[in-house]
Every structure is written in structure tokens, then in C-alpha cells.
């Protein structure tokens, strides 16, 4: 029986699920919008909602707990400073899931998960900018 067991397994082990959700939460915090499958987006939403609610406390214990869950200090800093102040007056519901059709290869339902009132310029900020000088190559 599955009494008091929340969430789906998503065909992964518990350690793989935990690492996947930590990575997805980090990407969502840094970019404020990510594209993933619909079941993953629905499973990620309560995890991120709890992180934002915890960040609103602003205590050192909350910061340490967030870092232990997502394992990224830059994302934890953005969550504690920018997102926590943005959603200080909001009682909950910090994210939305928007369906985006089906993936071409396997017809998996695809969705965007994003923060409400997100910063559009934050998208793609995790990708490093690489400068190539042509004078060195010639």
C-alpha cells in the first residue's frame, strides 16, 4: 500500500530523483523559467515553493537548509536576496506550469515552469559567455 507516499517515482531511484530535482530547482532559480516534461514540472513545483517560503524567513538556518537541498551557493544567494524580497507579500503560489505541447521524438507532454512576475532578462544567465578572439587563432 502507498499510504502517506507523495509524488511519482518518474522511473528513477530516490537518489537520482533527489539530484535531478536539486539541479532543476537550481536552473529554475537562476533562469526563472525552464522547459521540461509535464510530470517533472508538476513534481518540481512543490519543491521550489517550499524553498521560496523558507527563503522568506531570511535566517541563517534557512540559508543553510536551502544550500543543503540545492547544493549551489549562487542559486541560494539569489533565492535569499532577490526572490525572497520579490515574494515577501505573496502568501504562496510563486510558480506556474504552462503546457507547451508535445516533444517531437517521443510525444512526451512538455511544459514550462516559471516564476510568477519573473525577470525576463534572467533567462539564460547560467550559460557561460565564451569570448573567442580570432587574432589568436590566425
pLDDT tens digits, the chain, 138 residues: what are they?
Answer: 889 888 889 999 999 999 999 999 999 999 999 999 999 999 999 999 999 999 999 999 999 999 999 999 999 999 999 999 999 999 999 999 999 999 999 999 999 999 999 888 888 776 444 444 555 555
- The span from the CA of 130 to the CA of 53, in Å, is 35
Residue 2: the pLDDT is 82
Q: Where are the domains of the chain?
A: 14-137
C-alpha distance across the termini of the chain, in Å: 67
Residue 136: the pLDDT is 54
* DSSP at 103: -
- The span from the CA of 95 to the CA of 114, in Å, is 5
Residue 98: the pLDDT is 97
Residue 25: other Cβ atoms inside 10 A:
23
Residue 137: the pLDDT is 53
Residue 7: the pLDDT is 84
- So what's the architecture of 14-137 in CATH? Alpha-Beta Complex (3.90)
- The span from the CA of 135 to the CA of 97, in Å, is 46
The cell numbers describing 112, all together, are: 514550462
Q: Strand ranges (DSSP E) for 1-138?
A: 33-37, 95-102, 109-115
Amino acid at each position: 500500500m502507498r499510504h502517506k507516499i507523495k509524488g511519482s517515482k518518474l522511473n528513477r531511484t530516490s537518489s537520482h530523483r533527489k539530484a535531478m530535482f536539486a539541479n532543476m530547482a537550481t536552473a529554475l532559480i537562476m533562469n526563472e523559467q525552464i522547459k521540461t516534461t509535464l510530470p517533472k514540472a508538476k513534481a518540481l513545483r512543490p519543491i521550489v515553493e517550499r524553498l521560496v517560503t523558507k527563503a522568506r524567513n531570511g535566517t541563517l538556518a534557512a540559508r543553510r537548509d536551502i544550500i543543503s537541498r540545492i547544493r549551489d551557493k549562487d542559486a541560494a544567494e539569489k533565492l535569499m536576496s532577490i526572490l525572497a524580497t520579490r515574494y515577501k507579500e505573496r502568501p504562496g503560489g510563486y510558480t506556474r506550469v504552462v503546457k507547451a505541447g508535445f516533444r517531437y521524438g517521443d510525444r512526451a507532454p512538455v511544459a514550462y515552469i516559471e516564476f510568477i512576475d519573473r525577470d525576463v532578462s534572467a533567462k539564460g544567465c547560467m550559460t557561460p559567455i565564451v569570448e573567442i578572439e580570432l587574432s589568436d587563432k590566425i
